[in-house]
Amino acid sequence: MLLAPVPLDQPVAQWPALAQQLTLRPDQGVDQPFHTFWTAAWLHGSAAHRLQNLGAVALLAWMGWLAALPRAAALALLAAWPLTQLGLLLQPSPIAHYVGLSGVVHAGVAVVCVHSLAANHPRFPKALAAVALLGIVAKLIMENPVAHRLVQPPGSDITVVPWVHLSGAVAGLLCALPGALWCRLGAQRGRPAG
pLDDT digits (tens, 9 = 90+) for 151-180: 888 878 888 999 999 999 999 999 999 988
In this prediction the pTM is 0.91
Q: Coil, strand, or helix at residue 50? A: helix
pLDDT at 4 over 90: no
Do the Cβ atoms of 130 and 117 come closer than 8 Å? yes
Look at the alpha carbons of 134, 139, 141, 142 in this order and tell me if their dihedral is positive or negative: positive
Residue 157 is predicted with a pLDDT of 83
Residue 1 is predicted with a pLDDT of 45
* Ranges 10-14, 105-109, 150-154: which has the least confidence: 150-154
Q: How far apart are CA 118 and CA 24, in angstroms?
A: 34
Return the closest-CA partner of residue 148 out of 165, 169, 168.
Answer: 165
pLDDT at 190 over 80: no
Q: How far apart are CA 18 and CA 133, in angstroms?
A: 36
Burial of residue 183 (CB within 10 Å: 0-12, 13-18, 19+) is buried
